[in-house]
Amino acid sequence: MLRFIVAGLAIWTASPILSIIDTSVVGLGSTLELAALGPATALADSSAYGFVFLSVATTSLVARALARGSVSDAQRAVRDALSVAWAAGCLLCISLLVSTPLALKLWTGTASAQLVPSASVYVYLRAFGMPAALVTSVAQAAFLAVKQPAMPVLTVAVASVVNALGDLLLCCVFGWGLAGAALATTASQLVACGVILSRLVRPIDSMNGQPLLTAPPAWLPSTDAVKRVLRVGLPVCTLVGLKILLFSVLLGGAATRIGPTSSAAHACLIAIYILAAVCGDAVSQAAQSYIPATLGRPQASQRLCTTVVLLGCFVGAVNCMWAGAAAFLAPGIFTTDASVIALVRHVTPVMCASLLIHTASMATEGALLATRDLRWLVASYAANALLCAASLQAANSAGWGLWGVWLIMTQFHVTRMAWNSWRLFYDGRSPLRVTGPPQRDE
């Protein structure tokens, strides 16, 4: 399972790697553009992350179909998810083109209003890569569901190389700044999409020698396809919406409204944090891929869930160490501004505390997603978000600044870990205690 987690990091490292390359190249050229990159990447990446429920639904539908021994259901799930992802990506592109200026003005506030023009250009150009990004994420999720993580690794490698070369050419040679970084990222997403789609039609051993995709997905998804994906994905979409509200809108917006220096420091920290935090998503993905096969056998389910959580604790400790070292010892890879570097180092210990618990809490979340305990997840997330909003208000009143913003992020992970662990291991109605085979996804 640890080998699967390490390889499966590919599906979650794609976007953070592209963003961290952009942050490094842009930050070394201009502190103002680095500050603008904070809300710009937050808007672009959080908008795409809002559709991560498509990947989660794909993993769940495919894994459960194979647990029942139905290859045809797994292939139908992949075809439906790709069709829905394409349509959702087109809608997201149009939405970003229409709403970006207003969204950024609300995001930055008056203290950082000068960042809006540059940030808008970045988001506009990133919008055209959204259909490819969503289709790629669904294809990656399908490969992980059948325990074939090599293709997601290859896809991320290709995207990273294209993005890095594009940034060097467009930003360092042509001097296009934020616009060049956005164009490079969009180009890398298009190339990655082409690479992984070409692999979906190849035979896979775990699919009884059949490919994941046997017929082209529809350009416009059918009503039945949308219903099947949303039946699993809609509750997850609610969770993702709450995450975006908390991390990007509340906490990211609070960091930006403090001022340009705080926004620039937050951009540096969040780039490192997200790259480390995606390990939690990989652990969650492993839980969603492996646990469905044990459902109906309580002892096996609980034993496997314990293994996943322990792996999450181990990975979280590793994340804490390397991310803290990177933020404290090498902030110069993002900026040469002394005030920004000092603020990054001041907040680094709190960021490390957040990463320490994040991955284990994501393991418990993945287990609950695998068991379809979605009502519990939605209710606990809503309560946790409200608790964090109240804490943010108190931190703002106390003048804790960026340090307080990251402290609240740590609070969220601790609370999530505690509540989910109680549900899985101690609640008499734990979904791991249910007996019987997984139900068919109609």
Distance of alpha carbon 394 from alpha carbon 377, whole angstroms: 26
Give which of 138, 129, 122, 121 is closest to 189, Cα–Cα.
129
Average pLDDT, the chain: 84
Amino acid, single-letter form, for residue 52: V
Judge whether 434 lies within some domain. no
Distance of alpha carbon 180 from alpha carbon 184, whole angstroms: 6
Judge whether 154 lies within some domain. yes
Q: How far is CA 238 from CA 165, 235, 374, in A?
A: 37, 5, 10
Q: How confident is the model at residue 146 (pLDDT cuts 50, 70, 90)?
A: confident
Residues 6+ positions from 285 with CB-CB distance below 8 Å: 5, 8, 11, 12, 59, 141, 144, 366
Range of the domain at 202: 2-428
Give which of 292, 262, 240, 301 is closest to 51, Cα–Cα.
240
* Residue 107 near residue 35 (C-beta atoms within 8 A): no
Judge whether 38 lies within some domain. yes
| pLDDT above 90 as % of the chain | 20
- Per residue in 316-365, pLDDT (tens digit) is 898 889 888 988 888 777 777 888 888 889 889 998 999 889 988 999 99
Residue range 67-78: mean pLDDT, rounded: 86
Residues 6+ positions from 258 with CB-CB distance below 8 Å: 111, 401, 402
Residue 438 pLDDT: 54
* Residue 42 near residue 125 (C-beta atoms within 8 A): no
Residue 230 pLDDT: 83
Residue 336 pLDDT: 78
* Residue 5 near residue 282 (C-beta atoms within 8 A): yes
Q: How confident is the model at residue 251 (pLDDT cuts 50, 70, 90)?
A: low
Q: How confident is the model at residue 90 (pLDDT cuts 50, 70, 90)?
A: very high
Which residue has better confidence, 314 or 37? 314
Residue 16 pLDDT: 66
Give which of 139, 148, 130 is closest to 217, Cα–Cα.
139
- Per residue in 221-238, pLDDT (tens digit) is 888 888 888 887 777 777
Judge whether 436 lies within some domain. no
Judge whether 433 lies within some domain. no
Q: How confident is the model at residue 48 (pLDDT cuts 50, 70, 90)?
A: confident
Judge whether 217 lies within some domain. yes
Judge whether 440 lies within some domain. no
Q: How confident is the model at residue 423 (pLDDT cuts 50, 70, 90)?
A: very high
Count of domains for the chain: 1
Judge whether 120 lies within some domain. yes
Residue 15 pLDDT: 65
Residue 290 pLDDT: 85
Residue 440 pLDDT: 53
